[in-house]
Amino acid sequence: MTAKPLRLSTLFLSVLKISAFTFGGGYVIVPLMRKRFSEDLQWVKEEEMLDMIAIAQSAPGPIAVNTSIILGYRLLGIKGALASVLGTAIPPLLVLTLISMFYEAFRANRWIAALLGAMRAGVAAVIVDVVWTMAANITKKRKATPIILMIAAFIAVFIFKVNIILVLLFCGFLGFLDAMRSSLKEAKP
Where in 95-154 is the site for another protein (CB under 8 A)? 95-97, 99-100, 103, 106-107, 110-111, 114-132, 134-135, 138, 146-147, 149-154
Minimum CB separation of residue 42 from another protein in Å reads: 15
CA dist 87 → 18, 64, 72, 114, 147 (Å): 9, 11, 10, 29, 35
Q: Which of residues 30-49 bind another protein (CB under 8 A)?
A: 30-32, 35, 47
Q: Which is nearer to another protein, 7 or 39 (CB)?
A: 39
Q: Which of 11, 41, 56, 83 binds another protein (CB under 8 A)?
A: 56
Q: What is the dihedral of CA 83, 88, 91, 93, to 10 degrees?
A: -90
Q: Which of 16, 76, 81, 83 binds another protein (CB under 8 A)?
A: 81
User: In 3D, which of 182, 187, 22 has the Cα closest to residue 88?
Assistant: 22
41 secondary structure, DSSP code: S
